[in-house]
Structure 1
Amino acid sequence: MIQKFKKPVIFIPVTLALFLGVFAFQFKNDKLFAIAKNIDIFATLIRELDSYYVDEINPDELVTVGINAMLEELDPYTEFIPEEESDDFRMLTTGEYAGVGALIGNRGGGNMILMPYTGFPAQNAGLKIADFILKIDSLDVSKKSTSEVSELLKGPANTSVKVTVKRNLDTLQFSLVRKKISLKNVPFYGKLDDKTGYIKLADFTTNASSEVRNALVALKAQGADRLILDLRDNPGGLLNEAVEIVNLFIPKGREVVKTIGKLQNVNYTYKTTKTPIDKEIPLVVLINERSASAAEIVAGALQDYDRAVLVGRKSFGKGLVQTTIPLTYNAQAKITTAKYYIPSGRCIQAIDYAQSRENGSVTTVPDSLRKAFKTANGRTVLDGAGIEPDEKVAEVSYAPISYTLVTGNHVFDFATDFFYRNKTISNPKSFEVSDQEYEAFKKFLIGKDYDYTTYTEKSVQDLEKYVSKEPYYEEIKSQLEAIKSKVNHSKENDLDTHKKEVRKILREEIISRYYFQEGMIEAGLYDDPAVELAKSYLNNPVKISKTLTASVK
């Protein structure tokens, strides 16, 4: 319950009031003078550099460097956006741009298509994952950077562009018409079993709440009566979209988030304004260390109202609000103007940028200063370090061989080879990499460089490094060599030792060739520890009830 208190009447002597008024006026004047003085010094310096510096300078570049260096003293989210970067900024905030609808990147040997997005020009025209981009129109781009190629593929909607690619031994040309691309906030939703619905929310750009709403309605129509909302790796975005998503599960008129800053016009309480879609459906929300900002508002509000069980790992801890402010000459500034507070009253901001140290590093909020708050049911929650899940899931760690096979592009290349050998595969839920195909992968690796250091090797190397300084090193040197020999022998068998893990990685990469981003997400859900734990909650209403009820532990 929120109680309202009458503001106490405070009497200040007239003389003191006049003094305070004059002091405040003088302080403001001093501050304005300091700002004007330093701007004048900065402008004078630029002019003198342009006149006297031994080489020619670029005033735009130099001033931008100065502005960015100044903003780095504040926090990572306060940014200067020059006119030429406004399109990229708009794409980040709205998820919209005009282009061909494909993710590109360098996988060794040049830029290639990494993911054509379903339903957009690149995919519709027939471009495939692993197509090397040779030319855009008549321009050779084989040696250009990824960012340069990306810019060339973008352009005004309804304009034509020709893309020449190398696919295996063939050179192919595709004619595309650029379209307005609106990236999906919900790249995948579906049923994990007869009763369990799943929604992957990847971003909070424009229409995020509408996409979640549509997915929820569709899943309920298909018979889903329990739900997993996956906010893992979601970096956040538009605050109003977060409020609308919470409103899907929380009654009308409830506070979702409050923003408080230095200026009165940024102080605002956001409440639910609509009738929810379903305020009873059992709900589990997945979070991890890369769930931030708007994702934390959704997870935190649902936790504060005891509306959902949170499963995963502690979230990022970004409790700062940014406002975009127009500047002269079509530039913009994204400025941190407030902190947000979720319904229990806590702010989850984990890093105190105001207390940055002289060496530029910043400090996290110490445990001794974290405050306790209560959820609607009386459960204790803490501020100052992100959102703590109700049930923690250990981070999945991959064996060094798996990491090397991925970063060395061997998994990527084998999946491409598999795709051109097999026209079709079964659906993402049922497809598996057979033992025969795994043996083919092992043969594929023969002669390829995928050297790596195992954890045991690293331990032995560290031991040898320290022992080499000791007088008895020569006495045990032969024993160390024997250990290293055994470790190397074990390493030869790592493809068999970690077969299950490597097969899972291969499976997801192969599925992406046939079912694109949606298929990769769906494939990754099976044998996912967090998803399995979420399902165990949803299959046990008593467990959910106990978790969401305050109790002495």
Structure 2
Amino acid sequence: MNKKRGLTKRGWFITILLSVIISVGFIAANTDRRNFEIVKNLDIFYTLFRELNSFYVDEINPDDLIKTSIDGMLESLDPYTTFIPESEMDDFRFMTTGEYAGIGALITRRGNFVVVSEPYEGFPAQEAGLRAGDRILKIDGDDMKGKQTSDVSDRLKGPAGTEVIVLVERPGKSSPITITITRRSIQINPVPYYGMLDDKTGIIILNNFTQNCSQEVEKALKELKKNENMSRLILDLRGNPGGLMDEAVKIANLFLPRGSEVVSTKGRVSQWDKTYRAPRQPIDTVMPLAVLINRGSASASEIVAGALQDHDRALVIGQRSFGKGLVQTTRSLAYNSSLKVTTARYYIPSGRSIQAVDYANRNEDGSVGFIPDSLMREFSTSGGRTVFDGGGISPDVIVERDRFSSISMALIGQQTVFDYATLFAVKTPSIEKPGVFQISDDIYADFISYVTGLEDFRYESQSQNQFRKLKETAEREGYFDVNKELFSAMEENLRPDVARDLGTFREEVEEFLAMELLRRFYYQRGAIIHNLKTDNEVAKAREILSNPAKYNDMLNGTILTHAGDKRGARN
């Protein structure tokens, strides 16, 4: 009996051993085959490139050709796996740290020259007297005509403590102005504004998740809490493209108890499977909180909004977020270049993936497009509210995006408001402070006179586009000839009239104009303060936060929110 049992054990051992050997052999064979395919295709690529370089009819640029082939290869994987050559490493570091050495100004290309869009308040460019609208003619004596924005940017940057001499042409001035600027380390504050909207409601605006941004948010929160009357808070993440995941965990931790799950990652390689929890004691876990998001809120913004929503710690207000739930890791390559490679996916505490269902199902701005109900799955928050995946964070309260008239978009797109503000600032020494300043009838009349006097200001309305299609269809079907007078009258009525449309859409045009003028005299902070007065999403957040019963009912699931409604995915 014992002998039989021994033979059986031995038989099982031999069987398992053979299975392991076969499996190992199969894996080894697969690995050998995969390695062979890699070597084979790299050899093909090398020989192909060699033949192109030798025999192509025109001279080729090896760097450009290789960069194009690398970009094409990576583009076939996902939108976020990218190659970073040595020449772009400084820009990449700025994206993650928010720090560089230079003069502290935004610039943009206008015609043959680069123009200053905005000098940052408190930085060398502004302190030296550089203004928005200044056209950069020369840098250190070198002509900048025809130079690209990147070329001018590179010349303005440099080691901290060094000087750069900039010759600018300022509209309204008869001769160019020479400005000497001493460069220094520029650290852009990721919190451009925090303050009290009323005696009880505070707001913190976070622009990006750069290194140590959580410290700035914490500092802002502690400063606001010094106001004993403050009893509710709005965290504005709209237009925030994300950044460092660790900073997102720390910011969520300001409002979540220590040990709370914030986000987890899962990848093909097990080393990327991690769960990130709130590492320290929070600042406040009970104050009513609203988080504002929109289509521009991505990645780390979605982690914070999603974690606070899944823990029923905050109401999320606005529009469905971007839907970027892929984790990138930077790997060093030869010659000081790098590969930013997608290694895992983000999952927020309910188990939802932030990533959009597919990379192609996107709106024009890259955000999540229409998601069929069949592709969405149900999840539950800590308190039992139903939420859905499918891409991005669906807000608890949807506030439709502002839609602007064609003339407003033309005034912004053609820089007409910007140019008027430049001339206005030259001849106007000061304006009232933010929160008080309004566009007067005299200023608006002057603006109308300026715009109507421009020979090159042109725009077309959506109504005109639709009318043109209707007219073409009517001509094909034979209805146009019998209704010529009707079509002519309609065409005349739809033709843009600048003066008329500036009157019709004065309210929205005034907002753009007021913000640009305030930016000239009070910089970014001034424009933000003005905009908060008429911001629909901020108004909705204040309305809900000021009603504790409604706020609590929404968090408890007593009142159905859009996050628990699949229709919330259709933005």
Q: Kindly report which structure 2 residues correspond to 1:135-284, keeping only aligned pairs within 5 A, or say none.
A: 135-168=138-171, 169=173, 170-223=175-228, 224-284=230-290
Q: 1:399 is matched by which residue type in structure 2? A: S
* CA distance in 1: counterparts of 2:473 and 2:316, whole angstroms: 45
Structure 1 residues 348 and 364: CA distance shift in structure 2, 3 A: farther
Structure 1 residues 46 and 457: CA distance shift in structure 2, 3 A: closer
Do structure 1's residue 476 and structure 2's residue 486 form an aligned pair?
A: no
Deviations 1:329-377 (A, max 9, x none): 2211000000010001110211435999xxxxx9986431321110011
Q: 2:113 is matched by which residue type in structure 1? A: G
Aligned-pair identity (%): 48
Which of 526, 546, 552 aligns to 2:533? It is: 526
Residues 74 and 353, structure 1, Cα contact 8 Å, conserved in 2? no
Q: Please give the secondary structure, in 1, of the residue aligned with 2:556.
A: coil
TM-score normalised by the chain length of structure 2: 0.90
Do structure 1's residue 453 and structure 2's residue 460 form an aligned pair?
A: yes
Q: Which runs of 5+ in 1 are unaligned?
A: 1-10, 357-361
TM-score normalised by the chain length of structure 1: 0.93
Structure 1 residues 363 and 68: CA distance shift in structure 2, 3 A: farther
State the Cα distance separating 1:488 from its structure 2 match. Answer: 3.9
Do structure 1's residue 540 and structure 2's residue 547 form an aligned pair?
A: yes
Do structure 1's residue 509 and structure 2's residue 516 form an aligned pair?
A: yes
State the Cα distance separating 1:28 from its structure 2 match. Answer: 1.4
Residues 452 and 499, structure 2, Cα contact 8 Å, conserved in 1? no
State the Cα distance separating 1:453 from its structure 2 match. Answer: 2.2
* CA distance in 1: counterparts of 2:57 and 2:421, whole angstroms: 55
* CA distance in 2: counterparts of 1:373 and 1:512, whole angstroms: 44
Q: 2:500 is matched by which residue type in structure 1? A: N
Counterpart in the other structure of 2:348 = 342
* CA distance in 1: counterparts of 2:550 and 2:529, whole angstroms: 26
Q: Please give the secondary structure, in 1, of the residue aligned with 2:476.
A: coil
Q: More displaced, 218-227 or 126-135?
A: 218-227
Q: 1:153 is matched by which residue type in structure 2? A: L
Q: Please give the secondary structure, in 1, of the residue aligned with 2:250.
A: helix
* CA distance in 1: counterparts of 2:391 and 2:23, whole angstroms: 38
Q: More displaced, 39-48 or 375-384?
A: 39-48
Residues 107 and 409, structure 1, Cα contact 8 Å, conserved in 2? no
State the Cα distance separating 1:110 from its structure 2 match. Answer: 2.4
Counterpart in the other structure of 2:30 = 27
* CA distance in 2: counterparts of 1:24 and 1:366, whole angstroms: 39
Do structure 1's residue 416 and structure 2's residue 426 form an aligned pair?
A: no
* CA distance in 1: counterparts of 2:124 and 2:59, whole angstroms: 44
Residues 324 and 356, structure 2, Cα contact 8 Å, conserved in 1? yes
Q: Kindly report which structure 2 residues correspond to 1:354-433, keeping only aligned pairs within 5 A, or say none.
A: 366-433=372-439
Q: More displaced, 327-336 or 29-38?
A: 29-38
Aligned residue pair count: 538
Q: 2:417 is matched by which residue type in structure 1? A: V
**RMSD value over aligned CA atoms?**
2.1
Residues 379 and 388, structure 2, Cα contact 8 Å, conserved in 1? yes
Residues 379 and 551, structure 1, Cα contact 8 Å, conserved in 2? no
Structure 1 residues 328 and 243: CA distance shift in structure 2, 3 A: same
Do structure 1's residue 300 and structure 2's residue 306 form an aligned pair?
A: yes
Q: 1:286 is matched by which residue type in structure 2? A: L
Runs (4+) of structure 1 moved beyond 6 Å? 362-365
Deviations 1:305-339 (A, max 9, x none): 01011100000111100000111222110000000
Do structure 1's residue 287 and structure 2's residue 290 form an aligned pair?
A: no
Residues 70 and 83, structure 2, Cα contact 8 Å, conserved in 1? yes
